[in-house]
Structure 1
Amino acid sequence: MSTEIYSCREGQELKQGKLDYSDIDDRETAEIDAKRRCKLDPTIKKVAYYKVAADGEFRLFFSYTNPNCKPVPKAKPVSIASTARKAAPKKKPEPKPGLFARLKKSIGLS
């Protein structure tokens, strides 16, 4: 017999949550484990422990709801102002022609 452990967040169904496997088989150990999980990840809302038999039968033997659950931070909407384009880099001024270039120009070679 093994144990399936489901951990879900606020607004998430238990079966959509994270699934772990363990050999925990009593309520006391499950409660300690659930509190540890919620402390490590405060966004966990609920943890449920199911005993699963070799023939596929399962039954819930412990569940824990985190009283200190912190909601998952939502991504801030991106506004057009925050994605405004950066100003194009200014072109560097052309360097002044050197002595040789000025001489060529003065005698009409360019």
Structure 2
Amino acid sequence: MSTEIYSCREGQELKQGKLDYSDIDDRETAEIDAKRRCKLDPTIKKVAYYKVAADGEFRLFFSYTNPHCRPAPKAKPAGGALVARKPTPKKTPTPKPGLLARLKKSIGLK
């Protein structure tokens, strides 16, 4: 018989939480493990232990609600703080000299 351990955060359903497997089979060990999990990750709101039988049946044998739960931090954008910048103005290329200017240059006149 194995044990499924569900850990969920505030506002999250138990079945949507993190799933771990273990061989914990008594309430005392489950309580110690639940307190350890909540101490390592204070954003965990609830931990539930289900025994899973060989035929696929499961039943809840221990549940722990963290009294010192802290809200999970909000995710920040990947690029840090994005600041809108003005685009740099494009430089206009200098126009090619006209026919007269090229002729004067070739002759050596200014």
TM-score, normalised via structure 1 length: 0.72
One-letter code of the match for 1:37?
A: R
In structure 2, stretches of 5+ residues that fail to align are 92-104
Change in 2 beyond 3 A, CA 1:40/1:86: farther
One-letter code of the match for 2:38?
A: C
**Hey, what does 2:72 align to over in structure 1?**
72
**Hey, what does 1:55 align to over in structure 2?**
55
Structure 2 Cα separation of the partners of residues 37 and 76 of structure 1? 25
Per-residue CA shift, 1:31-58, capped at 9, x if unaligned?
0000000011110000000000000111
In structure 1, stretches of 5+ residues that fail to align are 92-104
Q: How many residues align?
A: 91
Per-residue CA shift, 1:56-75, capped at 9, x if unaligned?
11110000000000001224
Identity across the alignment (%): 91
Q: CA offset at residue 109 of structure 1?
A: 8.5
Change in 2 beyond 3 A, CA 1:109/1:34: farther
One-letter code of the match for 2:72?
A: V
TM-score, normalised via structure 2 length: 0.72
